[in-house]
Amino acid sequence: MPELDGWLLDLFEDQNEGAVFYFISQDGRRVRLHQEFPIVFYALGTNSELRSLWRFLASQPRPPRLRRDTRYDVFSRRRETVLAIETSNAYTHRALFQRMLQFFPDLTYADVDIQLSLRFSAATGVFPTACCHVVFDENHKILQINTLDDAWSVAEPSIPLRVMRITPGDNPAHAEPRQLLIDMDGKTCQLDLKDERPLLVNFCALLKRFDPDLILTEWGDTWLLPRLIELSQKHGIHLALNREPHRDIRWQKERSFFSYGRVVYRGQQVQLFGRCHIDRRNASMWNEYELDGAMEACRVTSLPLQVSARTSPGTGISSIEVLTALREGILVPWQKQQAEMIKPAAELFSADQGGLVYQPQVGVHKHVAEIDFVSLYPAIMVNFNISPETILSDPTAPNVVPTLGIAIDDSQMGIVAKALKPLLTKRVSLKTQLSKLSPRDASYNSLSSRASALKWLLVTCFGYLGYKNARFGRIEAHQAVTAYGRELLLRAKEAAEEAGFEVLHLYVDALWVCKAGCEKPADFEELLCRIIEHTNIPIALDGVYRWVVFVPSRLNADRPVPNRYFGVFQDGSLKMRGIDARRHDTTPYIGQTQKHILEMLAEYAEPRDALPSVLRYLKMRLRKLRNGEVPLKDLLVKQRLGRKVEAYRTLPAAGRAARQLEAVGKRLEPGQRVVFLHMRGEPGVHAWDLPNPPDPRSVDWLYYQELMIRAASTVLQPWVGSEEKLRDLVLKETVQLSLPRMISRHPIIHSLPILAKPVLLPALKAENLVTIDC
């Protein structure tokens, strides 16, 4: 019997052969194998309903295999009698199910509509990119397959991918690209896009000679591959993008959808068979963790590489949960049906809350430690065993959830907790490894990307628990997690206060504390231990700030705003949240200015000493802007379209820019980004992707000046005061530098709006007037 050791590259359904697999064998061959992969799914109902269903199915032209079985249902919390239905392959499964729905719409179904790779991984332990051992016959039919790999191992994946990278010379949305740059394992090649026939011929030759496993493109989904396919049809030259012969590539339409409160746009997709294609510009999370991260996500979720690169972490979490359910013999519901438990409205007030958030103490603070819980919500889900089936509506049971009228059943581990535990453990291991390496170490970047992929999956799993379409979601579980979160953060705060620390800010899973005399990380060790004692969840010191500023509301300098701050750690690194330099849509010139100001402030132990040079720098930057010396691309504004262009009633700037693009035939969908400049006169914008370039002299530099002053004022507010004061300082040439006193950290005074005024007592004579130093 032939056999091979190798790596699973791709797998997909086939109408005739059931399932087709592409392996990279250890000796370097690419091998195609197949296997009949029968699909089992379940129907639930009363005995008589199931009997009718049995009769119906038995009378079908190609009857499936039927048997009675019992499987666990997480929502009813017991093993249910089911009718197990086995079809020969995924195609017959889908066709049969559609017919069943027509005649038996009222039954409950499970294990329907599950990706082949998940079923295969659950059955054999072999996931995409796994190293495995395969035994097959002379017809290339798999007889036996074993995994030699472990998705949860910290070791780097070993799959030796041949990667072909293709980049068009220009962004197709902006200008028509003129050539293609192709890189194959270090060997590069350039093809001219103008000569269509030679381009195709050469490209086909390269494909054939190099035979890549992964084609990594830029704009491959939305422009490049569709273009090449169009050319191949035009010139009648066959383009073998797939390794699988007699197969068309798989197209997925573009779509806009609502997710976590904003509109997300996903461009059309081109997926290959026998090979992987990933479009770096259309892959979710690519900027976060690139190929190493996508591969990590692929391995732990058992989704094929090109699918995992394109889908959101929410889909990833769903896959992990489904995989766990399949392995444990738990029913995977077809449609989310479980509604919220009926509860008196009186309980909604305490249940319907998010994370605990404290208003911060506005102003500058020195020697502040930021302490973070490590992956708080996932840790709560695993530690407290929160899962749809572990929720008990009996408030008198043990393990009551704080402030909610529900309890947790601790008798066995819930499916969500089971699914998350290895994910959490691996993330902690990777982070620990990372902390021992220097950023210059060769394996640092890949390890960091892998840890990031896991982080995103973990970050999503909580939101997913409350998602309306999540198969294993349950709103009570979601509420239980936030309730524990609030409780634990409060306990941490109490532990800090008991130890004599002042708590400056609390935000969901982090606290900022300080105490006279505590300046080095070692000074906070004891507090960390105390908190762990009180909460049982791992906690880590993010760092000790030399100084940190909590930024107030732009509209009202007395109103604190949670999670809006900037500061410098003892090692000199900056951290900022909620301000322009941190946001993705900030104009580069302005973001860079703000960041540089922060860096200048960070150089001094007393930030106010930096002010004279900061103001000089800011004036210089404003001068460059006024003189037209700033490259236009540094003034670009990038905003997402929240809705279709027609749907806007009054057009914001982004909408007007989108209209301009529409007028030249470039249609933008909700969720896509519009890139434009602010211009003087009507319509006030110029879309960057218009064929005619903008007139640099018409740029509305006054508007940009305002944006810059606003951004600078955000970070200079504690020392300069209001935006008007800053404008006076940098725009008027001769002005005395008189800055108001810095607000001290006296807790009582902090919350009062009227400060630093002399206290006049009428009984005192003028010469006895005392000015209180605040």
Minimum separation from the CB atom of position 498 to another protein (A): 19
Q: What angle do CA 719, 721, 726 make, to 5 degrees?
A: 95
Torsion of CA 219, 224, 227, 233, to 10 degrees: -140
Q: Please, what's the b/e burial string for 266-303 (b: 16 or more CB within 10 A of its CB; e: otherwise)?
A: bbbbbbbbbbbbbbbbbbbbbeebbbbbbbbbbbbbbb
Contact mark string toward another protein, 470..509, x via CB under 8 A:
-----x--xx------x---x---------------x---
- Measured CA to CA, the distance from residue 449 to residue 455 in angstroms comes to 10
In the numeric block, the tokens 């007028």 are attached to 663
Stretch of 236-244, 408-416, 558-566, 608-616 lying at the interface with another protein (CB under 8 A): 558-566
Tokens at 675, concatenated: 């890139």
Contact 273, 10 (CB under 8 A): yes
Stretch that binds another protein, among 172-180, 272-280, 605-613, 746-754 (CB under 8 A): 746-754
Task: Indicate the Cα dihedral angle 286, 288, 292, 297, nearest 10°.
Answer: -80
469 binds another protein (CB under 8 A): yes
What are all long-range contacts of 300-303, with beta carbons under 8 Å and residues at least 24 apart?
Answer: 300/151, 300/152, 300/422, 300/423, 300/426, 300/454, 300/457, 301/457, 302/117, 302/118, 302/120, 302/121, 302/122, 302/127, 302/128, 302/151, 303/115, 303/117, 303/118, 303/128
Residue 741 CB-half CA count within 13 A: 10
Report helix, strand or coil for 522.
helix
* 312 forms part of the interface with another protein (CB under 8 A): no
Q: CB of 405: closest distance to another protein in angstroms?
A: 11
Cα separation, 220 vs 275, in Å, equals 14
Which of 560, 567, 591, 718 binds another protein (CB under 8 A)? It is 560
Name the segment binding another protein (CB under 8 A); options: 189-197, 317-325, 462-470, 596-604.
Answer: 462-470
Cα dihedral 198→199→204→206 (10° resolution):
100
Q: Which of 466, 538, 578, 694 binds another protein (CB under 8 A)?
A: 466
| Residue 463 found at the interface with another protein (CB under 8 A) | yes
Nearest to another protein of 229, 264 (CB atom): 264
Give yes or no for residue 341 binding another protein (CB under 8 A). Answer: yes
Interface with another protein, residue 759, by CB under 8 A:
yes
Does residue 411 belong to the site contacting another protein (CB under 8 A)?
no
**E strands along 517-644, which residues?**
539-552, 560-569, 574-577, 637-640
Between 386 and 405, how does the x/- string for binding to another protein read (CB under 8 A)? -----------------x--
Counting contacts by CB under 8 A, is residue 4 touching another protein? no
CB 553 → another protein: shortest distance, Å?
Answer: 9
342 sits near another protein (criterion: CB under 8 A) = yes
Least gap, CB of 750 to another protein (angstroms):
9
Among 3, 248, 352, 724, binds another protein (CB under 8 A): 352
* Residue 531 · residue 371 · CB < 8 Å: yes
Token representation of residue 68: 């009675």
Q: Are 313 and 427 in contact (CB under 8 A)?
A: no
Name which position in 32, 133, 250, 343 contacts another protein (CB under 8 A). 343
Angle at 757 between CA 754 and CA 760, to 5 degrees: 115
Binding of another protein by 647 (CB under 8 A): no
Retrieve residue 597's tokens: 């100001």
Min dist. Cβ of residue 501 to another protein (A) = 18
DSSP 671-715: T-EEEEEEBSSSS-EEETTSSSPP-GGGB-HHHHHHHHHHHHHHH
x-or-dash string of contact with another protein, 252-281, rule CB under 8 A = --------x---------------------
Of 368, 372, 365, the closest CA to residue 541 belongs to 372
* Cα–Cα distance measured from residue 298 to residue 304, given in angstroms and rounded to the nearest whole number: 6
Q: Token pair for residue 323?
A: 């995989």
Of the candidate spans 234-242, 536-544, 556-564, 695-703, the one that interacts with another protein by CB under 8 A turns out to be 556-564
- How big is the site for another protein, counted in residues (CB under 8 A)? 52
Minimum distance from residue 563 beta carbon to another protein (Å) = 12
Span from 45-53, 159-167, 340-348, 593-601 in contact with another protein (CB under 8 A): 340-348
Among the listed ranges 170-178, 330-338, 370-378, 520-528, the one in contact with another protein (CB under 8 A) is 330-338
Pick the closer one to another protein by CB: 735 or 752: 752
Least distance in angstroms from the C-beta of 345 to another protein: 4
Euclidean distance between CA atoms 467 and 259, whole angstroms? 10
Any contact of residue 155 with another protein (CB under 8 A)? no
47 binds another protein (CB under 8 A): no
Question: What CA–CA distance (Å, rounded) separates 321 from 301?
Answer: 9
How far apart are alpha carbons 726 and 610 in whole angstroms?
A: 15
CB 370 within 8 A of CB 362: no
Minimum CB distance to another protein, residue 402 (Å): 11
* Minimum CB–partner distance for residue 271 and another protein (Å): 21
**75-114 footprint of another protein as x/- string (CB under 8 A):** ------------------------------x---------
- 229 closest CA partner among 213, 210, 248, 211: 248
Q: Does residue number 748 form part of the binding site for another protein (CB under 8 A)?
A: yes
Site for another protein (CB under 8 A): which residue of 30, 133, 327, 336? 336
- Shortest reach from residue 468's CB to another protein, in Å: 3
Q: Which is nearer to another protein, 251 or 257 (CB)?
A: 257
Position 356: which residue type?
Answer: L
At its nearest, how many Å lie between another protein and the CB of residue 652?
22
Nearer to another protein, 161 or 351 (CB): 351
Q: Which of residues 138, 761, 762, 771 is near another protein by CB under 8 A?
A: 761
Is 555 a residue that touches another protein (CB under 8 A)?
Answer: no
The answer to whether 565 touches 576, Cβ cutoff 8 Å, is yes
> What sign does the CA torsion over 166, 167, 169, 172 have?
positive
Q: Of the candidates 97, 223, 373, 467, which one interacts with another protein according to CB under 8 A?
A: 467
605 scored as a contact of another protein (CB under 8 A): no
Work out whether 770 is an interface residue with another protein (CB under 8 A): yes
Q: Considering only residues 468, 649, 697, 757, which one is a binding residue for another protein as defined by CB under 8 A?
A: 468
Sign (positive or negative) of CA dihedral 171, 176, 179, 182: positive
Contact window for another protein (CB under 8 A) among 3-11, 47-55, 113-121, 760-768: 760-768
Considering only 26, 556, 570, 722, the residue that binds another protein (CB under 8 A) is: 556
Site membership for another protein, residue 643 (CB under 8 A): no
Q: What is the spatial distance between Cα 578 and Cα 565, in angstroms, rounded to a whole number? A: 7
Least distance from C-beta 339 to another protein, angstroms? 4
Residue list 353-382, contact with another protein (CB under 8 A): 353-354, 356-359
**Six token digits for residue 546:** 């030399």
Work out the angle at residue 88's Cα, subtended by the Cα atoms of residues 82 and 93, and round it to the nearest 5 degrees. 60
Q: Are strands 502-507 and 510-514 parallel, antiparallel or unpaired?
A: antiparallel
| 344 scored as a contact of another protein (CB under 8 A) | yes
**Nearer of residues 620 and 764 to another protein, judged by Cβ:** 764
Residues that bind another protein (CB under 8 A): 105, 260, 335-346, 348-350, 352-354, 356-359, 403, 463, 466-469, 475, 478-479, 486, 490, 506, 556, 558-560, 748-749, 751-754, 759, 761, 764, 768, 770, 772
